[in-house]
Structure formats: structure tokens, C-alpha cells
Structure 1
Amino acid sequence: MSGLFITVDGPGGTGKSTLLPLLGTALETAGHHVHLTREPSDGPLGRAARERTSDFHGLSLACLVAADRFHHLAEEIQPALARGRLVLCDRYVPSSYVLQVLDGVPLEYVRRLNAPARRPDLAVLLTAAPHLLDARLRERGTHSRFEHDGSSGPEVRLYDELASVLAEDGFPTFKLDSGEFSPQAAVQAITCHASALLSRNQAE
């Protein structure tokens, strides 16, 4: 029986790293076999994409991230789904739509590059007010050149603008404001969506 594929994307500082372990624990408690992963992946291509954003830019980084994604799908995500696991992925194609466009890559190129990628059953998009995200980034520190003082506003706007494009491209999106929802409330909301999807899949 095929499992369920859930991705979580959003600007830096929205709380993805906090949410994913809590969500995984809640879904495990509900009786699901959860497989947690992330993109860029922990494989060699993913480590290069994650650790060397200062070396790779524009098209080269977009292609590196996509290459890691297809390897990640083939070697980890799709096998876990085939075993009936519920796969939770920290960042996926929606992050590429936003970050690669912010890096100067045309949106249509990013769309075509990622067109063969498996679509998730649920694509969670986290957001929050830019001033709140900037404050969180200053407090925890930045993780790449994409995160800097003032980066949150353009990233939030682009996620908002591209939500309809993601839906058009087959991503069933569910948006949550981490400035309004506590991590526990967000976990509860996503768990309800996941349970509904699993029930529907089992009935089909």
C-alpha cells in the first residue's frame, strides 16, 4: 500500500525545523509509520547544495537542487512510500519556485526543471509577518545567503504570489500562519488533514 507524502515549505524563520519533529511525533502517536527527511537531502548532491550556496548561483544552483531532488526521490522518498510510510519532507519543490526565482532564475525554467518531480499529497506552506520572521532570523542566525536582514518580505510576497502557480502545477497547498498558530495548533491542523487524506486513500 502506497504511503502519504507531505511537504512543508515556507520562508526562513517560519518554524519548519520546530514543526516537523512535533508533527512526526503526533502522526506516530496516531498510529502512522513516519519517515522524516529534508531537502536539500543529506546525500552528496544535497550537501553541496546546502553548504555551498555561496559558490553556486542562479541556473547552476537550480540544476544542482533539482538533481538532488530526483536522486532523493529515487533513493529515499519513493521507496519509503512504497513501504507504506508517511513521508514528511522539510522543503520541496515550492522552495525551489521561490528561492530560485529570487536567485534570478526565470519561473518557467524552474517549473519545467521540476515538472517530473512527484507531487505531494499535501504541500503545507508556512508563512508569517515579515517583521516577525526578520526578528526570528536575527535571534537564531542565518543559514544561507538567502537569509539576511530584509529577506523575509520578498520571500513572503513570492510565496503568496506563487500559491496559485503551485496549485496549477498539481500541488495541493495548505497555508498556515506560524505567527498566529502555535506549533501545537499547527500540528493538530496538519494531522487532521493527513488523517482525512489517509481515510480517503483507503476508501478508494
Structure 2
Amino acid sequence: MKPHVAAVQHRLTGTLITLDGPGGVGKSTATRLVVDTLTALGLPVHATSQPSRAPLGELARHGTETYRGMALACLCAADRHHQLDTEILPALNTGKIVMCDRYVASSLVLQGLDGLPADVVWQLNHGVYRPDLSIILTGDPQIIDARLRARGGHSRFERATDSSTRETNGYTSAVTDLRDKSWPVTTVDATTGPPETIAATIVAHIQNVLTRKSPACL
């Protein structure tokens, strides 16, 4: 049995929600609004992002011009494994909802743009904790591109002229791959309404997950 199949993993008390999507789609804004909403509901939330803010994560975050292909993929995977051990899993063990801005789906897409096959990305991420829900923000590539150009690209991937279309197509493939690996995944169009509406949709998905995990908690 493959190591990333959900059945082999021990599930923790907390809930891991991951948010991925093309640069400029609105992940950071959505994460902030969702965290604010869940906190207002009295739920324990821990917000984080990948790459992490640890030294290894900062190297990956700011090193996309220096590191490419397998080198960057290894940096991102190593940071993810370290962050899981030191931050995410401890938070899940205390029963928190962990909201993570970027996770494995982003690696499948961005490392794919660097020419790495998906199987290689999965091997590097062997044993990572499967989210309770992986949310992929998507939408009209032209709208996403306009948002991205307005704020400016944060990496060489985002600064590429065709990045929004290529990333949007990449996430379509990633959704299929995640589902094939038995990861719970849903998509949310982030270009059809204001950020508050998108966040409300995400919160509804999270509440459904929490209800399935513990019907008495909501």
C-alpha cells in the first residue's frame, strides 16, 4: 500500500485545513478572514503558512531565483516535514484547527512548473499528514492575473508572464491527483465574489468537516 493513502495514517484530535491556489487568487486574505471568523465562533485556531517562517522555510521562500528543480523541491519538502514535527502536529494534538496557507498541492504545481514529475514530489513528501480538507482556490485566470500584477509577484513563478494560466491548469491536475490519493479536496471559485463571500464559503466547508469529526461539538 502506498504511504500517502489515507487509511495508513493515525488521525489526530485537531483538524488540518489547507488552502492552495495560484498566486494572486486570494489565499492569504481568505485565510485571514476564515481565521477571524472561526475565532469569533469560539473555536481554537492556529494559522500558519508554507514555506514556514523558520530559517529553512525562509530560505525556500526567498530562494526561488537561486534554487530550482530538485533543489527547491527538496528545500520545500524538508521545511514541510520540519514544520509538521515542530508546529502543525503539536497544534493538532491539542485539538486546534490548523489553517495552513499552501501545502502539498502547491508543491505539485510549482515543482511541476520546474519540470519535476508528480511522483517525485510525492516521494519527497512521503509520510506528510493528510489534511482533513484540502481547499483549492481557483477561478478565471485573467482575473487572477490582474490581481497578481496589481500586488506584484513574490517569486519567479509569479513573475512569469503566463503564470496565472499555467498555475490554474496545474491546480486542475493537482485536484485529480489528490483525489486519486484519497485526499479530501474541494475547490472554491475565488473570482466570482468579494473576499467575505469566499471566506464564508470556506467556513461552511470547515464546519461540515468539524461536524463529521464530532457532531456534538457544533
1:119 touches 1:170 (CA, 8 Å); kept in 2?
Answer: no
Contact 1:38 1:89 in 2 (8 A): yes
Does the CA-based 8 Å contact 1:131-1:152 persist in structure 2?
yes
Root-mean-square deviation (CA), in Å?
1.3
Partner Cα distance (2:40, 2:34) in 1:
10
Greater Cα shift, 180-189 or 147-156: 180-189
Determine which of 142, 146, 154 is the counterpart of 1:131: 142
In the alignment, residue 168 of structure 2 is paired with which amino acid? V
Instruction: Give the Å deviation of 1:185.
Output: 1.6
134, 138, 158: which is aligned to 2:170?
Answer: 158
Give distance in 1, aligned partners of 2:163 and 2:84.
29
| Cα-to-partner distance string for 1:57-103 (whole Å, 9 max, x where unaligned) | 00010011000000000000000011111100000000000000101
CA shift, 1:115, in A, is 2.9
Name the counterpart of 1:3.
14
Residue of structure 1 equivalent to 2:204: 192
Count of residue pairs brought into register by the alignment:
204
Counterpart of 1:98 in structure 2: which amino acid? V
Distance across 1 between alignment mates of 2:81 and 2:53: 13
Equivalences for 1:20-39 in 2 at 5 Å? 20-39=31-50
Aligned to 1:90: 101
Distance in 1 separating the partners of 2:126 and 2:140:
30
2:76 counterpart of 1:65: yes
The runs of 5 or more residues in structure 2 that have no matched partner are: 1-11
CA distance in 2, matches of 1:156, 1:34: 28
**Does 2:149 match 1:142?**
no
- Partners of 1:178 and 1:114 lie apart in 2 by 27
Partner of 2:4: none
Asked if residue 56 in structure 1 is aligned to residue 67 in structure 2, the reply is: yes
Alpha-carbon distance in 2 for matches of 1:162, 1:141: 25
> In 2, Cα distance between the equivalents of 1:203 and 1:14?
32
Name the SS of the counterpart of 1:147 in structure 2: helix
Q: State how far apart, in whole Å, the 2-side matches of 1:197 and 1:21 are.
A: 19
AA aligned opposite 2:22: P
Provide structure 1 residue ranges, at least 5 long, that are not aligned to the other structure. none
Question: Normalised by the size of structure 1, how large is the TM-score?
Answer: 0.96
Q: Distance in 2 between matches of 1:202 and 1:140?
A: 40
Distance in 1 between the 2:56 and 2:95 partners? 26
Distance in 2, Cα, partners of 1:174 & 1:138: 26
CA change 1:74–1:32 in 2 (3 A) is same
Greater alpha carbon shift after TM alignment, 10-19 vs 185-194: 185-194
Q: How much does 1:203 deviate?
A: 4.3
